[in-house]
Amino acid sequence: MSNLLNRKQQEKPVVKQPEPELSLNIKDTDFLLRLIKRSNFRGDEIEVGYRVIQKLGILHRSKLEDWFRYTNIRNH
């Protein structure tokens, strides 16, 4: 019994570390779009691939617009 108590006293509470924020930058989206452009798709993958390209394109444009806004503000 004392062995069980000693083990419980030595155990420390588990503290879960926050997960890092997951995000893509301009280079990430550019790389993925170029990689997809060079890829071959089977017939059953075309619809999903098209939707992914659309989403990545929107995300990439948004990142570019943010970057242009940021660089214009810094240069003025």
- Residue 67: domain span: 22-75
User: Which residue type does 49 have?
Assistant: G
The pLDDT of residue 65: 94
Split into its structural domains, the chain has a count of 1
* Residue 52 and residue 29 in contact, taking contact as beta carbons nearer than 8 Å: no
Q: Which helix (H) or strand (E) holds 55?
A: helix 46-75
- Structure token pair of residue 60: 């990439």
Question: In a structure prediction context, what are the per-residue pLDDT tens digits for the chain, which is 76 residues long?
Answer: 556 556 656 676 777 888 878 899 999 999 999 999 999 999 999 999 999 999 999 999 999 999 988 888 877 6
On whether residue 31 sits in a domain, the answer given is: yes
Helices (H), 1-45: 2-10, 26-37
On whether residue 66 sits in a domain, the answer given is: yes
On whether residue 12 sits in a domain, the answer given is: no
